[in-house]
Chain A
Amino acid sequence: MGVFHSAPYEHEFHALAEKTGFSLEQISILHKRFMQLSHNEDSLRREDFKTISDLASNPIRFQIIEAFFDKRNFRQNGEGSVEEISFEQFLTVMSHFRPVPVHTMTEEQRESLRREKLRFLFNMHDTDNDGTITLEEYRRVVEELLSRSGALGKETAKGIADAAMLEVASVSVGHMEPDEFYEGITFDHFLKILNGIEIETRMHIRFLNMDTTNLCK
C-alpha cells in the first residue's frame, strides 16, 4: 500500500483536514482503518464495530459504539441517532480525541476545549437527550462500569450512583427543602463537578504514533 492508492481521496482529505484538524497522514491512516472495519464499503454500521475483538472486554462498549452513531457528536447541532455513518462522520467523532497543544492556548480556548470534551461525555450519559442526566441514567452508567463484576456490582452500583448524585446535588444546589426534587445533572453542574479532572489534557489518543502493522490483520 503506498501513497498512490490514496490519490483519488487526496482532495477530500484536504477538505477533511481543514474541518477536523487532523493531519493528512493521520487521515489516511484512519481511512485505512475505516475501510478495514466497513469491509471496503462507504459506511459503517453498528455490526461492524462488534467485529473488533478487543472491544468485547470493554464494559462500556455499547455506549462507545452508540457515541459514534449519535448525531449530537457530528458538530452539526443534530439530534437523535443514525444507522450508518460515513467516513466524514467517523472522523468528526474521532476529532474529539485529537491531542491539542494546550499550553499555547488562551484561557478561553482552553475553556471551550473543556466544554467540548465534557459535552461529548455528557452526551454519552444523557441517552434520552433531555439535557439532564437523571438518576436512572446515572445508575445505568455505573451499572455498565461495574458490569463485569457480577452480582456484587449490580447491588452496589445503585448505592454508588445515589451517592454520586447526592454529591452533585450538594455541590451544585447546596440548599434544598425536604420536598424539593433535584431533576438531574445539567451540563453546567456536570462541568462544575468535574472541575478537578483536567479533561483537556487527558482525553486524547496519540494518533501520531499509530503503527500500521495492526491494520493488516
Chain B
Amino acid sequence: VLALGTVGASRRVSLQRGLLFLCALVLLLLSEAVEPLGASGSPGGAGDSSGGSHGLQKGCEADVTKSKHPTNRTKKPFPVLSFDYEHVKTPFEISLWVLLASLMKLGFHLIPRLSSIVPESCLLIVVGLLVGGLIKVVGETPPVLDSQVFFLFLLPPIILDAGYFLPIRPFSENLGTILMFAVVGTLWNSFFMGGLLYGVCQIKGTDLNTVNLLACLLFGSIISAVDPVAVLAVFEEIHINELLHILVFGESLLNDAVTVVLYHLFEEYAGVGSVSILDVFLGVVCFLVVALGGVLVGAFYGILAAFTSRFTSHTRVIEPLFVFVYSYMAYLSAEVFHLSGIMALIACGAVMRPYVEANISHKSHTTIKYFLKMWSSVSETLIFIFLGVSTVAGNHSWNWTFVTVTIILCLVSRVLGVVGLTYVINKFRIVKLTTKDQFIVAYGGLRGAIAFSLGYLLDKSHFPMRDMFLTAIITVIFFTVFVQGMTIRPLVDLLAVKKKQETKRSINEEIHTQFLDHLLTGIEDICGHYGHHHWKDKLNRFNKKYVKKCLIAGERSKEPQLIAFYHKMEMKQAIELVESGGGVKLPSAVPSTVSMQNIQPKKPPSDRAIPQISKGREEEIRKILRNNLQKTRQRLRSYNRHTLVADPYEDGWNDLLFKRQKLMEIEKKVMCVSVSLTHVPNWWLHSSDPQAYSSKPTSDDLPTIKVDLASPQSPDSVNLVNEFQKAATQNDPDDDGGLVMKVPFADKDQGEQDNKKEQQRLMRCLSDPGPGGDEEEDEPFLP
C-alpha cells in the first residue's frame, strides 16, 4: 500500500509538473496566435472572450463610424460577442510576459534537483532562449530587451530592494575596501581591456582595423562593470559569509558611477576621435559630481520620505506607497541630470530606513518588505528571460578573435585587479583578505544585463561595430553567468569558504556590541586619538539629538537602540506565541526549562533587615500554603465546569490561571502571617510563567499581577477573564477577597509612565486597521 501510495504521489507530482508546462506552452502559443489576429480585430468575429463587453460597445461604435453614410446603415445582426484586441494589446502582453516569468519560476522550484545544481539565472536564460526560438519559429520577431524599459522599469525595483535592506554596519566598516574595488578596480579593468583589445585589433589578420582606440575603451568600460543583478542572483543562493557578500555586492553597486562617467566620456569623444587632457580632467570632476550628486539626491529624498512618514499615523494604509514613490522619484531625478541613479536609490533606501521603520506600523513594514521582494524577484526573472530572448532576436556579428580575446581578457584583468588591489588594501585592513577571499571576489565578478543594455544604447551610426560588440557582450554574460555561476557553489564548498551564520541576534550580543562600541570610543578618547569609533560615536549622538527628533514621531524619537531592539524582540516573540496557537511552551530556539525564578536571586533572610522566622513558623506557613493550593485547585475546577459557559480552554490557559492563583494566595498569606516582613522576596511576585519577559517590571512593593503581553492568551480566553472576574465577585466575596486579575488596559487609574509607553507601542501595532477594517487578527491582546 505504501509503495502504491508513493507511486501515486510521484505520479501526481509529475502530473502537476506536466500540467504546468503545458499551461505555460499554451499561454505562449496563445500570445503568438493572438498577435497576428490582433491586427485585424474585426468585430463580430469568433474568438476568446477577451473582447467581451468592451468589444460589444466598440463593435457598435465601429459599426457607426465605419460606414460613411450614416443614413445608409446596412442592417447587421446584433453582435453578441466580438473580438477587439488592439486596445488592450500592450497591458495584455506585459501581463502575459510577467505571468510567464512567474510560472517559470514556480516550475523550477517544483523540480527539486535542478534548482540545487543550476542557479536560477541560468535556467531563466535558457527559457528565454527557448521562448525566443519559439517566437522565431512561429515567424514573429521576438522583442529585444529595450534599454528604456530596462533602466526605467526593470532595474529600479532590484536596486531599491538591495538598498533598503543593505546591512549598514558591514557596509560602512568595509566602505574603503568596497570603494577601492569599485572605483580603482573598474578603471583598471576598463583601461586594461580597452587597451589590450585595441592592440589585438591592430594585428593584421583579423579584420578589426576599423575599431579605433576610443571605441575599444568604450567597450572596455561597458564590459568591465560587475553587475548587481547577476551578483545578487547568484550570491543569494550560495550563502557565503557576510564580508565577502558585502564586498562583491557593494562593489557592483558603487561602480555604477564610474561606468556612467566612462561610458559618457568615451561615447562623446569616440565620434570625434580624440580625447584631450582637459577632457580627462573634466571626466574626473564629472565622476565626483555624478557619485556625490547621486548620493545627495538620494539622501534628500530619503529624508523627505522619513519626514512624511512621521505624519502617517492616521493613514496607515498608504505608508508603503510613500517609500516606493519617493525612492522612484529619487532614481528618476538623478537620471534627469545624468547622475548615478543606482547610488541615489541606495542612498535613499539606506537613509530613510531607520526613521521610516520607527514610524510605520508593523503591517506596513511587512507590506514594504514583501512588495520589494516580489517586485525585485519578478524584475530579475524578466531580465534574464529577456536576455535569452534578445540573444535569439538580435543581429549578431560573430568574430572569433574578438570574442575569445574579450573573454580571456575579462578573466585575466579581473584576477590581476583583485590581487593587486588586495595587496594594497591589506596594508590598511585589520581583518586581512586571504587568498580564498580574493579568489571568491575575483570569481564573483559577474557581468549581466546592464552591460547588455548599455551596449544596446550605442548609436549604430557612430559605432558600426555595434553588433560585434553586442555579440561579445552577450557571450561574456553567458560565460560568466553559466560557467562562473554554476561552478561557484561547488567551489565555495570545495574551498571551505566560511558560510553565513544563520543565528538570530541575541539580546546578549546586542548588549555587548553596544558596550564594545562605547568601550572602544572611550579608549580612543583616552588615547587622544580621533579615530573611526570617535567619529561614529559623534555621528550617533548628532543623530539622536537632532535628526531623530525631526523625523520620528512621538516618544519613539528618544528610544535608545538597545531598548528598540529589545521591544522588537519581545514583539516578535509575542507574535510567535500567538501564532503558535497560544500553546503552553513557546517554540523557542533553545528549548529549556529555565524560567525567571531560576535567575532571580533568593535573598537569604539573614541578608536583609527582616526578623528571622523560626523553623516551626516556616513549616506552618508551608502547610497553610499547601492546603490553600489544593483548595484553589478544586475551586478552579468547579468554576470550569459549572459557571463558565464558554468552551473549555486548552491546558495553557488552565496552567496560567492556576499559577496566578497560586501567586495571589501566597502573597496574601505571607502578608497576613508576618506583618513585620518589610520586603517581599522577589520571586513570590514575579510570575513563574516560563517566557513572560516582564517588559515593565513591577516595583517591588506593589503586589499586582499584570497579564503580560507574552503570556499565552487566545482571543477566546481573554473574554473568559471578564467572565471569571464576574463569577469571582459574585460567588466568593469572603474568601481571599476575590480573584482580581488586572488586565492592563482595563485599569485606567494606573496611569504610570510605563503603561502609557506600553499602550503607545501597542497602538502602533494595532492602529493599523489594514484595508479590511476590523479583522480578527487585529486583537490578540485587547479584550
Contact = CB atoms under 8 A, between A and B. Distances in A.
A182 B594 contact: yes
A207 B532 CA distance: 11
Interface string B581-598: 000000010111111111
B560 to A, nearest CB: 5
Nearest to A197: B509
Given A54-B534, A160-B562, A207 B598 contact: no
B648 interface: no
Contact of A159 (B527, B530, B595, B695): B695
Contact of B590 (A52, A153, A170): A170
Contact of A166 (B523, B529, B599): B599
Contact of A194 (B508, B532, B595, B697): B508
Given A60-B518, A168-B508, A94 B594 contact: no
Interface in A200-217: 201-207, 209-211, 214-215, 217
B730 interface: no
Contacts of A182: 594, 598-599
Contacts of A209: 529, 531
Interface in A135-153: 135-136, 141-142, 145-146, 148-153
Interface residues of B, number: 66
Given A60-B522, A103-B434, A155-B697, A210 B508 contact: no
B566 A163 contact: yes
Contacts of A175: 592-594
B421 to A, nearest CB: 17
Given A152-B563, A164-B511, A101 B599 contact: no
A82 interface: no
A141 B753 contact: no
B541 A57 contact: yes
B508 A135 contact: no
Interface string A158-178: 111011111111110111111
Nearest to A173: B594
Interface string B271-314: 00000000000000000000000000000000000000000000
Contacts of A169: 592, 594, 598-599
Interface in A38-58: 49, 52, 54-55, 57-58
B744 to A, nearest CB: 15
Given A58-B518, A162-B697, A182-B599, A170 B592 contact: yes
Contacts of B533: 205
B500 interface: no
Interface in B579-631: 588, 590-602
A134 interface: yes
Contacts of B566: 156, 159-160, 163
A27 interface: no
> For this complex, into which size category does the number of interface residues on chain A fall?
35 or more
Contacts of B515: 60, 121, 141, 145
A210 B529 contact: yes
Contact of B501 (A30, A160, A171, A196): A196
Contacts of B522: 55, 58, 60-61, 64
A97 interface: yes
Contacts of A142: 511, 562
Contact of B513 (A49, A181, A197): A197
Contacts, number: 214
Contacts of A167: 506-508, 590
A15 interface: no
Contacts of B525: 52, 54-55, 58
A55 B529 CA distance: 12
A146 B512 contact: no
B500 to A, nearest CB: 12
Interface string B232-275: 00000000000000000000000000000000000000000000
A162 B570 CA distance: 13
A21 interface: no
A166 B693 contact: yes
Contact of B563 (A135, A160, A204): A160
Given A145-B515, A149-B563, A158-B697, A181 B541 contact: no
Contacts of B537: 58
Contact of A181 (B531, B601, B688): B601
B688 A178 contact: yes
A201 B174 CA distance: 13
B526 interface: yes
A162 B431 contact: no
B558 A205 contact: no
A199 B517 CA distance: 12
Interface in B538-577: 541, 558-560, 562-563, 566, 569
B426 to A, nearest CB: 9
Contact of A152 (B541, B600, B757): B757
B527 A176 contact: no
A207 B515 CA distance: 20
Contacts of A136: 601
A180 interface: yes
Nearest to B532: A206
A176 B592 contact: yes
Interface in B178-236: none
Contact of B518 (A59, A168, A204): A59
Contact of B602 (A94, A181, A202, A203): A181
A136 B560 CA distance: 22
A110 interface: no
A146 B592 contact: no
Given A54-B525, A160-B563, A205-B527, A173 B592 contact: yes
A121 B512 contact: yes
B520 A205 contact: yes
Given A64-B523, A165-B599, A215-B528, A174 B592 contact: yes
A119 interface: no
A16 interface: no
B655 interface: no
Given A162-B693, A169-B599, A205 B523 contact: yes
Given A149-B560, A163-B693, A194-B512, A206 B592 contact: no
11 contacts: A59-B518, A102-B430, A162-B600, A169-B599, A171-B592, A176-B594, A176-B598, A182-B594, A193-B508, A197-B509, A209-B529
Closest 4 CB pairs of A and B: A54-B525, A170-B592, A64-B522, A169-B594
Interface of A: 30, 33, 36-37, 49, 52, 54-55, 57-61, 64, 94, 97, 99, 101-103, 121, 124, 134-136, 141-142, 145-146, 148-153, 155-156, 158-160, 162-171, 173-182, 193-194, 196-197, 199, 201-207, 209-211, 214-215, 217
Given A149-B558, A174-B591, A209-B529, 13 more contacts: A55-B525, A55-B526, A58-B521, A134-B601, A135-B601, A146-B560, A152-B558, A160-B507, A160-B511, A194-B509, A194-B512, A203-B516, A211-B530
